[in-house]
Homo-oligomer: A and B are copies of this chain.
Amino acid sequence: MMRRVTPEVRKAGTGAGGRPRDPELGPAVLAAAAELVVRRGYHGVRMEELAQLAGTTKTAIYRRWPSRAAVLLDLVAQRMPPPVEVDAVLPSGMAGSAENEDVVAASRLLARSLSDPAVVHCVMGLLAEAVHQPELGAQFRAKLIEPQIAAADALVAAAKKAGRCPPWVSGALLADIMTGSVLQHVVVRGQPADDAFFAELAQFVGNALR
């Protein structure tokens, strides 16, 4: 007997029938969350108000995300720029680059991950909550941090092969330094992440990679 194949492969979670999820609802919630998080901060995102602003109800939100933290985590994952792409920074023909300007440029991109204020506010709140909520921390790292580290590793590996990076530098270290410095500068010290700061940082890193 031939298995009956459903004519259309459904993309919704469980697989079978039922009223399909409103496709506009999820994005609307994330957009509302982004607005609220910059208006009121991480703890100012109240589920009731979030639902109202998104034109829906708490119930619908909790059907998609298990908690408020999960919503904000998804918000960050969506707004965070994708990690550095090696090929975009180290084009094949660029082999004999006089200095290591290409690696430095890539590092600048890494640092600019935290340029969106909504992202910054969410990240702080999530980290504070994740400290003693291991599952949240694991998801946070899997969704946001590990791709970044992987990209940095690939970047460093390519640079090493081309002789433009000392062998003792690791991608993880580079990522820690770039994003960490921005975090400290912006969030902890409350300073603007302007071009002057990025220039200083780039010069520091460029000097270290000599």
A binding-site residues for B, Cβ under 8 Å: 39-44, 120-121, 123-125, 127-129, 131-133, 137, 141, 145, 149, 166, 168-170, 172-173, 175-177, 179-185, 187-190, 200-201, 203-205, 207-210
Contacts and interface: CB of A to CB of B under 8 A. Distances in A.
Most chain B C-beta atoms within 10 Å of own C-beta, residue among A166, A177, A210:
A177
9 contacts: A42-B128, A168-B203, A169-B204, A172-B189, A177-B180, A177-B181, A180-B188, A183-B184, A183-B188
Instruction: Give the dominant DSSP class at A's interface.
Output: helix
A166 B207 contact: yes
Contact of A44 (B124, B132, B145, B182): B132
Query: Copy number in this complex?
Result: 4
Contact of A181 (B120, B123, B132, B181): B181
A131 B121 contact: yes
A154 to B, nearest CB: 17
Contact of A125 (B128, B173, B179, B189): B128
A132 B125 CA distance: 11
Contact of A145 (B43, B169, B188, B200): B188
Given A207-B166, A208-B208, A200 B185 contact: no
A80 to B, nearest CB: 13
Given A131-B41, A205-B208, A208-B208, A189 B124 contact: no
Contacts of A207: 166, 207-210
Given A180-B180, A207-B210, A208-B207, A128 B185 contact: no
A185 B141 CA distance: 12
A68 to B, nearest CB: 12
A187 B127 contact: yes
Contacts of A201: 173, 177
